[in-house]
A and B are shown apart, each in its own frame.
Chain A
Amino acid sequence: MNKLKLNLGPQHPSTHGVLRLILELEGEKILSCEPDIGYLHRGMEKMAEKLSYIQYLPLVDRIDYLAGFFYSELLCRTVEKALNIELSKRVKAIRLILLELNRMASHLLWIGAFLMDLGAVSPFFYAFRERELILQYFEKVSGQRMMNNYFVFGGVRRDIEFLEDIEEILKILPEKVNDYEKLITENPIFIQRTKNKGILDKNTAFNFGITGVNLRASGVELDFRSGDYLYEGIEFKPVVLDGCDSYTRYRARVQEIRESIKIISQALEILKSEKDLNQNLLNPFTLSLPEGEYIQEIEAPRGLASVYIKSTGEKTPYRFKWRTGSYYSVNLLRKLLKGAYLNDAIAISGSLDIILPEVDK
């Protein structure tokens, strides 16, 4: 049989115009896959070298538009740690709540988009309906739905309000997640499409640098939230499932939503008892990091996100480097798509939760 070269993307509805997979096919079987990235490159790292920290802060939300809070938190955290600034308990709780809400919104969108890739129409709208609650809350708090720009160095832009909205989200979401599970989890076609597809074993995951839910769905207990200072005093269990396939990755994400709900309700208790905001804001105009190298990490929805700053003591960093989870997942497609069939290709790449702005930066 002749080999066929197929360009999956960039102008393909499932790759959203920003990812190109060069597939070599034999019939519908994929012989090799070569991801071609860079369609969404915005020079995020180079930009950091030209801008002061406060100028750069509003841009970092755009690294992952679905989980913007994580990246602004990461930058704020790096600066705060470098300057040895302690956050008050209320600020920590606020940040924690917003981060976890953002994680839920991100996972909800993933569920919708993944099912859309598999050809189911409705879950997309159902997931967006619940995500809308969260986004509306973000809008109330920060004035923006997605690029929130709410965290600042040493605290948050202003105090959090509308706690009853969060309580309502926490009340509604578990029921709705149960609904998704009824519609999706036991669906025989869904199981057929995802079970034993895109198997990612432990060693491969380690070799490719996979982190986050994808790694935990392969049975590795590695959750950077456990050592995180925001999560001190919060009880939570990392979701570790031992299935290694797309189906397990789906289940892990659904369970993470439930886990996030628990975390938020604990953080709400802290928020209610600590009334004093007690911020320790930095003057952004004189802000500069002392000479040295700084690394911080955070558990973003798509795996470990970390930042590396090399500073020479000036107002702008000398070198700035982001590490994002999706970048490694895209690379993994080379391995996972080999030997798969064409109509599993979309399902497998969808299950890894790849966000291209995060890859290209």
Chain B
Amino acid sequence: MNYLYFLYIEFLAKHNIPQLFGDLTFYIIPCCIIFAALLVVVLALVLFERKLLGWFTQRKGPNRVGFWGILQTLADAFKLLCKENITPKGADRFLFNLAPVIIFVPVMIALGLIPYSSEFTFMNFQTNLLIFIVIGAMPVLSILFAGWASNNKYSLFGAMRSVAQILAYELPIAFCILSVAVLGSSLNLTQIVYAQSSRLGVLGWFALPCFIGFVITFICMIAELNRCPFDLPEAESELICGYNTEYSGMRFAIFYLSEYAMLFANSLLLAVLFLGGFLSPLGKFLSPIIFPPEISGVMVYFEQAFWLFAKTFLIIFVIIWIRATFPRMAQFDLLKFSWAVLLPVSILNFFLMVIFKYLTGGGYV
């Protein structure tokens, strides 16, 4: 990040623009980068999911628009862009229009908190992790707005289920993340990643000592993302589409795309917390071996980003696999599962991790 900052200041200095201007406008750059990257990633993810689901169910998936169906999501988005935006009668117009606007905000902030490589975090605070937890629960606000403002009973049901679900699943996730913070002795994501580094690669990852926490976080993450088998808020066969029933055109597209953006952001977090983030699973980076020494310093950063994205896509693949396999859970079993099983186990896991940390004194590998 500093790298980018100095580059920008240097560029401005060449054109005789004062540094104050650079300091003030610099933050637009990461915003633009995140937004552009997000759009590409989300469009790719939608295609990824549709292709995978197609293969799981013995179909070909989208294969008409562009080579291998690559442009399919772009075409869908363009079609939705051309559609009329309908506001239903009796809807709360302000909230109804506000909901799709604010649903993208938390995910953009969340993506800014992730360390993509050792030197590349858009917002590197000491309490990155804490902010992420807070931000992660924010989309529910937008869902609640959408469900309430739509003046539709199905939407309302979807919104209510969503709120109940996120309340129930936010607590276990907090305890699991806390145990990771204990293991890494930090609330900063970059330092948590470094705490997972070891000569043995995979063995240093927190997914091993904190395996229970990893599984619980994974389950809760799926629940928070409203994905199968926890996709009750938007259960198509029951609630039609839940909170976004009444949305049409680009507003619907924004809801649809934001789900994938949240999926991506949460998978990134999971990879960072438990799967060693940008660390190589082999224990050391390959680029000093592959590339000549002049550029290997920069190529390491790219390699780090590659490992992080590889882990993220592995997680996303598993989530899609789960979607292809399981039916939907029932509302009350879902809440019972969280309060009666996940929460106690995650608290237990937290204490286990504290004891583990005390016994090993940090360097256990």
Task: Report A's interface with B, CB cutoff 8 A.
Answer: 4, 6, 12-14, 28, 115-122, 124-126, 129, 183, 187, 189-190, 192-193, 341-346
Q: Which residues of A contact B326 (CB under 8 A)?
A: 119-120, 187, 189
Q: What 6 A-B pairs are tightest by C-beta distance, nearest first?
A: A119-B328, A125-B57, A120-B327, A118-B327, A14-B237, A117-B237
Contact A125 B58 (CB under 8 A): yes
Closest CB in chain A relative to B238 CB, distance in Å: 5
Q: Which residue of chain B has its CB nearest to the CB of A115?
A: B327
Bound: A353/B58 CA distance, A: 25
Contact A13 B236 (CB under 8 A): yes
B329 within 8 Å of A (CB atoms): yes
Contact B330 A343 (CB under 8 A): yes
Given contacts A12-B240, A14-B237, A341-B331, 14 further A-B contacts (CB under 8 A): A13-B237, A13-B240, A14-B238, A28-B157, A119-B229, A119-B237, A119-B328, A120-B327, A120-B328, A126-B58, A187-B326, A193-B329, A344-B330, A346-B238
Q: Which of B232, B240, B330 contacts A192 (CB 8 A)?
A: B330
Q: Which residue of chain A has its CB nearest to the CB of B156?
A: A4
Taken residue by residue from 228 to 266, chain B's Cβ proximity to chain A (1 for < 8 Å, 0 otherwise) reads as: 110110011110100000000000000000000000000
Closest CB in chain B relative to A115 CB, distance in Å: 6
Q: Which residue of chain A has its CB nearest to the CB of B236?
A: A13
Contact A342 B58 (CB under 8 A): no
Bound: A122/B327 CA distance, A: 9
Q: Could you name 18 residue pairs across A and B whose Cβ atoms are closer than 8 Å? A: A13-B237, A13-B240, A119-B235, A119-B237, A119-B328, A120-B328, A122-B324, A124-B57, A126-B57, A129-B58, A183-B325, A187-B326, A187-B327, A189-B329, A193-B329, A341-B330, A342-B238, A343-B235
Q: Which residues of A contact B330 (CB under 8 A)?
A: 192-193, 341, 343-344
Q: Which of A4, A190, A193, A344 contacts B153 (CB 8 A)?
A: A4
Contact A121 B324 (CB under 8 A): yes
Q: Which residues of B contact A121 (CB under 8 A)?
A: 53, 57, 228, 323-324
Contact A190 B327 (CB under 8 A): yes
| A119-B153 contact given A125-B58, A343-B238, CB 8 Å threshold | no
Bound: A217/B107 CA distance, A: 49
Contact A192 B329 (CB under 8 A): yes
Bound: A50/B308 CA distance, A: 72
B21 within 8 Å of A (CB atoms): no
Q: Which residues of A contact B331 (CB under 8 A)?
A: 28, 341-343
Of the listed residues A28, A122, A344, the one surrounded by the most CB atoms of chain B closer than 10 A to its CB is: A122
B59 within 8 Å of A (CB atoms): yes
Contact B59 A125 (CB under 8 A): yes
Contact B324 A192 (CB under 8 A): no
Contact B325 A122 (CB under 8 A): yes
Bound: A120/B330 CA distance, A: 13
Q: Which residue of chain B has its CB nearest to the CB of A190?
A: B327
B333 within 8 Å of A (CB atoms): yes
Of the listed residues B58, B240, B326, B329, the one surrounded by the most CB atoms of chain A closer than 10 A to its CB is: B326
Q: Which residues of A contact B327 (CB under 8 A)?
A: 115, 118-120, 187, 189-190, 193
Closest CB in chain A relative to B313 CB, distance in Å: 21
Of the listed residues B53, B327, B333, the one surrounded by the most CB atoms of chain A closer than 10 A to its CB is: B327
Task: Report B's interface with A, CB cutoff 8 A.
Answer: 53, 56-59, 153, 157, 228-229, 231-232, 235-238, 240, 323-333
Closest CB in chain B relative to A13 CB, distance in Å: 6
Bound: A120/B324 CA distance, A: 7
Bound: A118/B236 CA distance, A: 10
Q: Which residues of B contact A187 (CB under 8 A)?
A: 326-327
Q: Which residue of chain B has its CB nearest to the CB of A117?
A: B237
Contact A122 B332 (CB under 8 A): no
Contact B153 A341 (CB under 8 A): no
Q: Which residue of chain A has its CB nearest to the CB of B232?
A: A343
Q: Which residues of A contact B157 (CB under 8 A)?
A: 28, 342
Bound: A13/B235 CA distance, A: 11
Contact A119 B324 (CB under 8 A): no
Q: Which residue of chain B has its CB nearest to the CB of A15?
A: B237
| A6-B236 contact given A122-B324, A189-B329, A344-B330, CB 8 Å threshold | no
Q: Which of B58, B153, B332 contacts A6 (CB 8 A)?
A: B153
Closest CB in chain B relative to A251 CB, distance in Å: 16
Bound: A183/B57 CA distance, A: 13
Bound: A121/B326 CA distance, A: 8
Bound: A203/B235 CA distance, A: 34
Bound: A344/B57 CA distance, A: 25
Q: Which residues of A contact B238 (CB under 8 A)?
A: 14, 342-343, 345-346
Closest CB in chain B relative to A333 CB, distance in Å: 15
Q: Which residues of B contact A192 (CB under 8 A)?
A: 329-330, 333
Contact A119 B231 (CB under 8 A): yes
Bound: A120/B236 CA distance, A: 11
Q: Which residue of chain B has its CB nearest to the CB of A188?
A: B326
Q: Which residues of A contact B231 (CB under 8 A)?
A: 119
Contact A189 B229 (CB under 8 A): yes
Bound: A116/B236 CA distance, A: 9
Q: Which of A14, A118, A122 contacts B56 (CB 8 A)?
A: A122
Bound: A13/B240 CA distance, A: 6
Q: Which residue of chain B has its CB nearest to the CB of A119?
A: B328
Contact A122 B153 (CB under 8 A): no
Contact A118 B153 (CB under 8 A): no
Q: Which residue of chain B has its CB nearest to the CB of A4?
A: B153
Closest CB in chain B relative to A331 CB, distance in Å: 22
Q: Which residues of A contact B329 (CB under 8 A)?
A: 189, 192-193
Closest CB in chain A relative to B298 CB, distance in Å: 43
Q: Which residues of B contact A125 (CB under 8 A)?
A: 57-59
Q: Which of A12, A124, A126, A341 contacts B332 (CB 8 A)?
A: A341
Q: Which residues of B contact A345 (CB under 8 A)?
A: 238
Closest CB in chain A relative to B226 CB, distance in Å: 12
